Chain A
């Protein structure tokens, strides 16, 4: 379990208590400025506060051990140097201190997972936006973390890539990892998440299965938009 207890960050989060289970995809949604990214960085152990992984406080866990267990993909796609895709993905191995062979195997697997093996020697500056987003995700996967926390990982992708990556996140959850995604698109959260946290002005306003957390009543109350869900199963769309 990854849990927060009365998490407060002045001006951003106002007492968030929740517990996330591994083996599932959790989506964090909310209007702009709701505190989604703040909650995600807190869950990654990057902010002060009572966040616990398997009962142990993250601020009392050695940083490298925390880094091996929790992979965090920030929203910014910043890469300071024009490294190759393979070198970039290899940065995900930094907390491990494993042998070069183990590192190379993990990098190869992560590259294959996001379908970038054939571009592994290409410089990051020569990738398209979508390829770059996948390379950055592969960096997180290469670390083999128990938890994968990603801040709007689908923002710059076309629909085929969005579908592939969401399927990939579902596979990771199916393999027992905890997956937490900050999402902007409510339909993605509805169709692909097992659980949805709705944040508004730093408060946790709804927390549950997508059907109840993203009920039209909740959407109307939080976003001020009268909307309804069309379609069924994993193919729902939001109309307003």
Chain B
């Protein structure tokens, strides 16, 4: 499939999915049927921000995943590998732990601070990005940050001062778009859009990296500049995503993986289609969570995506293994 064709198909699917998602829910709104009570506030205050947030977060994660796989030259890479999401989550968890989360600015502020700290650590430890010590050291640094942030998050949970904070933390960590308002949309849209623009700029350099680091440098790629684009781009996207919705996994891993065979396989050709498909995936998953609530409330989006994503990914791997055999 050519790239414009793929983008067109995804855009059409989104154009169909967005209005459907706005109308669907526990209260169905039929635009041609009899008027529904409170239809306007339901649409404007509950569903529209939720749909907007699904598009922003899904789009960002899809694009970040495609860029990460290109940067690490590995189809199994995911935006979480830089350690930015776990550290942003640690920041958010600390806001619950300290009780500051009741302030509207505290949770996103702490999450962004965590994401920024991860970016600074990445730059400090693996900075320079000279030939040979670039990407591997960088990935290891990200994994160590992720693992340290995970341990610290567990520590904070175990030291949690009261059951209320504990339950807040655990629920929040699972990731969801439930009860989000325009406040979260305004908060996450600008950083995500800037992040998307930075990753778009990184596209040609990621293409050159297909040939390995030495050949990429000989084609004019400056490793330090590319690394900065990646850290800032992925950091802004993942940081704002975690700040608005908690940890949402699998989107950045699965979406580029599914789309790659439909493109010419260059990383740059995958970034924008992955943004559209990521938006579509999160939108559909969130709508399904809303449509089919469990006895105790809605299924958390993070759990739903992992429940669907992990088996799906296993199937992909099984197919891959058959092809290799």
A32 in the interface (beta carbon within 8 A):
no
- Cβ-neighbour of A139 out of B73, B211, B217 (below 8 A): B211
Chain B residues positioned under 8 Å from A79 (CB to CB): 210-211
Asked whether A76 and B207 contact (CB < 8 A) given A63-B220, A95-B219, the answer is: no
A159 in the interface (beta carbon within 8 A):
no
A191 in the interface (beta carbon within 8 A):
no
Chain B interfacial residues counted at CB < 8 A: 23
B174 to chain A, nearest CB (A): 34
Chain A residues positioned under 8 Å from B221 (CB to CB): 63
Pick the interface stretch among B236-244, B245-253, B263-271, B285-293. Answer: B263-271
Query: A residues near B, CB below 8 A?
Result: 41, 44-47, 63-64, 66-68, 70-74, 76, 78-84, 87-88, 91-92, 94-95, 136, 139, 143
Chain A residues positioned under 8 Å from B214 (CB to CB): 41, 46, 72, 74, 76
Decide: A80 and B210 in contact? CB cutoff 8 A: yes
Q: Which residue of A lies closest to B205 (CB)?
A: A94
Decide: A87 and B220 in contact? CB cutoff 8 A: no
CA distance A118 to B224 in the complex (A): 38
Decide: A95 and B210 in contact? CB cutoff 8 A: no
Given A45-B218, A78-B212, A82-B265, 18 other A-B residues pairs in contact with their CB atoms under 8 A: A46-B218, A47-B131, A63-B217, A63-B222, A67-B218, A67-B219, A68-B220, A70-B218, A74-B212, A74-B215, A74-B218, A78-B211, A78-B215, A80-B74, A81-B73, A81-B267, A87-B266, A94-B219
B64 in the interface (beta carbon within 8 A):
no
Asked whether A81 and B210 contact (CB < 8 A) given A46-B218, A63-B222, A91-B219, the answer is: yes
Asked whether A81 and B218 contact (CB < 8 A) given A74-B212, A94-B208, A139-B211, the answer is: no
Decide: A81 and B215 in contact? CB cutoff 8 A: no
Q: Which residue of A lies closest to B72 (CB)?
A: A80
Query: B residues near A, CB below 8 A?
Result: 73-74, 131, 204, 207-212, 214-215, 217-222, 260, 264-267
30 pairs of residues in contact across A and B, judged by CB atoms under 8 Å: A41-B131, A44-B218, A45-B218, A46-B131, A63-B217, A63-B220, A63-B221, A63-B222, A67-B220, A70-B218, A72-B215, A72-B218, A73-B215, A74-B211, A74-B214, A74-B215, A74-B218, A76-B212, A78-B211, A84-B265, A87-B265, A87-B266, A88-B210, A91-B207, A91-B210, A91-B211, A91-B219, A94-B207, A139-B211, A143-B219
A96 to chain B, nearest CB (A): 10
Asked whether A95 and B220 contact (CB < 8 A) given A74-B215, A79-B210, the answer is: yes
10 residue pairs, one from A and one from B, having the closest CB atoms: A67-B220, A72-B218, A80-B73, A64-B220, A81-B265, A63-B220, A78-B212, A74-B214, A95-B220, A83-B265
Decide: A83 and B212 in contact? CB cutoff 8 A: no
A36 to chain B, nearest CB (A): 14
Chain A residues positioned under 8 Å from B210 (CB to CB): 79-81, 83, 88, 91
Most chain A CB atoms below 10 A, which of B209, B219, B267? B219
CA distance A171 to B146 in the complex (A): 54
Most chain A CB atoms below 10 A, which of B260, B265, B266? B265
CA distance A87 to B211 in the complex (A): 12
Chain B residues positioned under 8 Å from A46 (CB to CB): 131, 214, 217-218
Chain A residues positioned under 8 Å from B204 (CB to CB): 94
CA distance A63 to B265 in the complex (A): 25
B173 to chain A, nearest CB (A): 33
Chain B residues positioned under 8 Å from A84 (CB to CB): 264-265
CA distance A185 to B110 in the complex (A): 61
A155 to chain B, nearest CB (A): 16
B227 to chain A, nearest CB (A): 15
A87 to chain B, nearest CB (A): 5
B53 to chain A, nearest CB (A): 32
B3 to chain A, nearest CB (A): 12
Chain B residues positioned under 8 Å from A68 (CB to CB): 220
CA distance A45 to B220 in the complex (A): 10
Chain A residues positioned under 8 Å from B207 (CB to CB): 91, 94
CA distance A41 to B209 in the complex (A): 17
Chain B residues positioned under 8 Å from A45 (CB to CB): 218
Asked whether A87 and B222 contact (CB < 8 A) given A41-B214, A74-B214, A80-B209, the answer is: no
CA distance A211 to B161 in the complex (A): 83
Asked whether A71 and B212 contact (CB < 8 A) given A46-B131, A82-B265, A84-B264, the answer is: no
A81 to chain B, nearest CB (A): 4
Chain A residues positioned under 8 Å from B222 (CB to CB): 63
Q: Which residue of A lies closest to B75 (CB)?
A: A81
A97 to chain B, nearest CB (A): 9
